[in-house]
């Protein structure tokens, strides 16, 4: 079966600065790809291009075979995307916000209500269903963003730091959720937390200065040095030098 | 279309979820009423029509409409929700049109709440309600024109103050270009431009409606005016979405 996410020689330049430099990779169904790298390495920029929010300077990104630039609506229909920082409309209630997302995705009122109820149950938001998002803690806001990404049960999930700001219990829950969904989907998550990669990812890509410096299984990466931390440091610092 | 409708409903509800709606409507009603009865000499004129009300509308909207539009895109940019909105499966023009129509519907609500004026003239005299309806239609179209300008400018910045000030300035151009001072100045110095200035003036166009004349050319003017600015809005969103 062909890959659900296909990225080919994707580049993004801001003036003279090259944020992402000819990045290529594919993610197939059942894979959970950990996207690692120091701050400013180009993780978020790559994910934004994959989600169709940022136009690449060159190269292509395809989701389920749909080019995100040429047929953006079809590509986005197959994508669940959690943007960096999990932005939401602060004055809306959790349920109102998710219902809005469901309606934009074309569900009629009855099916939207069912989708929203499912997403709320999956991300354990029942207790805050009718609260405005602005009154929620950081961990809850992140889960609202996650619920929005899962709402339509998409074949492709792109999650930018899904566990940032969560407490250890919530992190565990989100990782369990990702693990449960993994067999049916192609998932990309970006993270700073190396243990998370060993915990849930089937594959890890390390990016530094816009270039891929490693593409391996977590076990393969860990085997390259004494610890995962040491491997990460030597790979990313070598690229910076 | 479901995308457009969902955006419209969310935006329209957002006005009423915050104090924006109350503040805007109260200030609009207070100012339009005050201007009509004082400067407009509603009673002293001894004529049963809404001329004094309609003549202040473009100048009142000049400040109030950009106050609505300044947040349309600038706030999405500041909150980062623009990334969410534009990665949902809807075409950019649907987001642009949904936001614009919601703001327009909100202005229509504010205008509709001036109905006591219509009741008043009908109690005091025997006005031509067709002329009044045409006047209201004209006011709504002026609001639409200003909204389209303000929305496009809001898409260019994440700073709401900049969006407001620029929108007022550009709206002022289209409000003032038909005024006596400008037309006289131009006809004396640049006669070629004086006709053009009158032609692009929204206040000049409104005068026709206020007299009860709904002409096709005026309707086409407003439709294409709004269309051009919404097109610019879509381009601005498209090209600056990630900045």
Residue A46's pLDDT is what? 94
Q: Does B89 touch chain A (CB under 8 A)?
A: yes
CA closest to A112 among chain B residues: B6
* CA distance to partner chain B, nearest, from residue A123 (Å): 18
* CA distance to partner chain B, nearest, from residue A117 (Å): 18
Query: Averaging pLDDT over each range in A65-69, B36-40, B194-198, which range is the top one?
Result: A65-69
Determine the Cα–Cα distance for residues A138 and A133; give it in Å rounded to an integer.
10
For residue B63, how far is the Cα from the chain centroid? 10
Helix axes B129-154, B202-210, angle to 10 degrees: 160
Residue of A159, A155, A214 whose CA lies nearest to A188: A159
Determine the Cα–Cα distance for residues B171 and B152; give it in Å rounded to an integer.
12
Nearest CB to B2 within list A81, A85, A106: A106
Contacts of A55 in chain B (CB under 8 A): 242
Residue B243's pLDDT is what? 62
Q: Which residue has the tokens 């393969």?
A: A220
Instruction: Give the domain ranges of chain A.
Output: 29-78+154-222, 88-153
Determine the Cα–Cα distance for residues A143 and A146; give it in Å rounded to an integer.
5
> Per-residue pLDDT tens for A156-177?
999 999 988 788 888 898 899 9
Three-state secondary structure call for residue B118: helix
Which CATH code is given to the segment(s) A29-78+154-222? 3.40.50.300
Contacts of A88 in chain B (CB under 8 A): 81, 84
Task: For residue A93, give the DSSP letter.
Answer: B
> Is the Cβ pair A89, B80 closer than 8 Å?
no
**What's the complex ipTM?**
0.90
> Is the Cβ pair B6, A100 closer than 8 Å?
yes
pLDDT band for position A239 (50/70/90)?
Answer: low
Nearest CB to A52 within list B81, B84, B87: B87
Three-state secondary structure call for residue B43: coil
CA atoms within 13 A on the CB side of B5: 10
Q: Does B95 touch chain A (CB under 8 A)?
A: no
pLDDT, mean of residues B33-62: 85
> Is the Cβ pair A81, B87 closer than 8 Å?
yes
Contacts of A84 in chain B (CB under 8 A): 80, 83
Instruction: Count chain A–chain B contacts defined by CB atoms under 8 A.
Output: 74
pLDDT band for position B111 (50/70/90)?
Answer: very high
> Per-residue pLDDT tens for A61-74?
999 999 999 999 99
* CA distance to partner chain B, nearest, from residue A202 (Å): 26
Q: What are the residues of chain A with a beta carbon less than 8 Å away from any beta carbon of chain B?
A: 48, 51-55, 72-74, 76-77, 79, 81, 83-85, 87-92, 96, 100-101, 103-106, 148
* CA distance to partner chain A, nearest, from residue B80 (Å): 6
> Per-residue pLDDT tens for A125-137?
999 999 999 999 9
> Is the Cβ pair A91, B90 closer than 8 Å?
no
Radius of gyration of chain A (CA): 18
Asked whether the predicted pLDDT for residue B112 surpasses 80, the reply is yes
> Is the Cβ pair B242, A106 closer than 8 Å?
no
The answer to whether the beta carbons of residues B157 and B163 sit under 8 Å apart is yes
Contacts of A72 in chain B (CB under 8 A): 89, 91
Q: What is the dihedral of CA A228, A231, A232, A236, to 10 degrees?
A: 180
CA atoms within 13 A on the CB side of A215: 7
Q: Reading across the β-sheet that carries A156-160, which strands appear in turn?
A: A79-82, A156-160, A186-190, A32-36, A203-208, A211-216
pTM of the model: 0.91
> Judging by beta carbons within 10 Å of its beta carbon (0-12, 13-18, 19+), is residue B32 exposed, middle or buried?
buried
Residue B242's pLDDT is what? 64
Q: Read out DSSP for A123-166?
A: TT-GGGTTSBGGGS-HHHHHHHHHHHHHTT--SEEEEESTTTT-
pLDDT, mean of residues B137-148: 96
Residue A240's pLDDT is what? 61
Helix (H) or strand (E) holding A114: helix A109-122
pLDDT, mean of residues B82-96: 93
Contacts of A81 in chain B (CB under 8 A): 87
The answer to whether the beta carbons of residues B12 and B106 sit under 8 Å apart is yes
Residue of B205, B91, B196, B98 whose CA lies nearest to B145: B205
Ranking A107-111, B28-32, B162-166, B187-191 by mean pLDDT, the lowest is: B187-191
Q: Does B80 touch chain A (CB under 8 A)?
A: yes
Asked whether the predicted pLDDT for residue A237 surpasses 80, the reply is yes
> Per-residue pLDDT tens for B205-234?
898 998 888 999 999 999 999 999 999 999
Nearest CB to A103 within list B6, B86, B87: B6
What are the residues whose beta carbons fall under 8 Å from the beta carbon of B25, sequence distance 6 or more?
B109, B110, B113
pLDDT band for position B186 (50/70/90)?
Answer: confident
> Is the Cβ pair A53, B241 closer than 8 Å?
yes
- Count Cβ atoms below 10 Å from residue B150 Cβ, excluding itself: 30
Chain B contact probe: residue of A20, A75, A89, A145 with most B CBs at under 10 A: A89
Structure tokens at A80: 């669940």
Task: For residue A203, give the DSSP letter.
Answer: E
- Count Cβ atoms below 10 Å from residue B46 Cβ, excluding itself: 9
* CA distance to partner chain A, nearest, from residue B4 (Å): 8
Kindly give the residue spans of alpha helices, DSSP state H, lying in B113-190.
115-124, 129-154, 160-176, 180-189
Question: Average model confidence (pLDDT) for chain A?
Answer: 91
pLDDT, mean of residues A94-121: 95
The number of residues making up chain B comes to 243
pLDDT, mean of residues B65-76: 92
């Amino acid at each position: 079966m062909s890959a659900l996410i296909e990225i080919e020689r994707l580049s993004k330049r801001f003036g003279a600065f090259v944020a992402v430099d000819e990045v290529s990779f594919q993610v197939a169904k059942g894979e959970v790809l950990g996207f690692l790298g120091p701050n400013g390495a180009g993780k978020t920029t790559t994910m934004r291009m994959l989600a169709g929010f940022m136009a690449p300077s060159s190269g292509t990104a395809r989701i389920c075979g749909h080019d995100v630039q040429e047929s953006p609506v079809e590509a986005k229909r197959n994508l669940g995307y959690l943007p960096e920082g999990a932005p939401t409309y602060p004055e809306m209630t959790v349920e109102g916000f998710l219902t809005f997302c469901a309606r934009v995705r074309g569900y009629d009122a009855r099916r939207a209500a069912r989708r929203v109820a499912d997403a709320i149950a999956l991300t354990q938001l029942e207790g805050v269903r009718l609260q405005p998002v602005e009154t929620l803690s950081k961990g809850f806001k992140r889960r609202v963003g996650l619920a929005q990404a899962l709402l339509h049960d998409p074949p492709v999930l792109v999650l930018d730091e899904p566990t940032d700001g969560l407490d250890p219990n919530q992190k565990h829950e989100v990782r369990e959720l990702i693990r449960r969904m993994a067999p049916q989907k192609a998932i990309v998550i970006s993270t700073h937390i190396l243990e998370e990669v060993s915990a849930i990812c089937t594959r890890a890509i390390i990016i530094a200065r816009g270039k891929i410096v490693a593409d391996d299984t977590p076990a393969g990466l860990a085997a390259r040095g004494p610890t995962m931390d040491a491997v990460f440091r030597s790979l990313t610092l070598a690229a910076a030098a | 279309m479901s995308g457009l409708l969902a955006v419209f409903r969310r935006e329209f509800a957002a006005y009423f979820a915050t104090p924006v709606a109350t503040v805007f409507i109260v200030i609009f009603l207070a100012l339009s009423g005050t201007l009509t009865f004082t400067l407009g000499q509603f009673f002293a004129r001894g004529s049963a029509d809404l001329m004094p009300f309609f003549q202040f509308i473009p100048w009142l909207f000049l400040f109030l409409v950009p106050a609505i539009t300044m947040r349309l895109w600038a706030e999405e940019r500041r909150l980062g929700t623009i990334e969410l909105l534009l990665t949902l499966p809807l075409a950019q023009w649907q987001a642009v049109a949904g936001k614009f129509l919601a703001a327009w519907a909100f202005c229509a609500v504010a205008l509709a709440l001036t109905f006591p004026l219509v009741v008043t003239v009908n109690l005091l005299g025997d006005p031509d309600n067709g002329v009044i309806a045409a006047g209201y239609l004209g006011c709504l179209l002026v609001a639409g024109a200003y909204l389209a300008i303000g929305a496009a400018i809001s898409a260019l910045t994440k700073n709401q103050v900049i969006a407001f000030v620029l929108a007022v300035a550009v709206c002022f151009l289209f409000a003032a270009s038909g005024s006596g001072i400008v037309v006289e100045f131009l006809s004396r110095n640049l006669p070629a431009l004086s006709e053009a200035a009158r032609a692009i003036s929204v206040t000049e166009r409104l005068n026709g409606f206020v007299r009860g004349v709904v002409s096709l050319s005026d309707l086409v003017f407003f439709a294409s005016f709004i269309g051009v600015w919404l097109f610019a809005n879509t381009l601005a969103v498209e090209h600056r979405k990630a900045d």
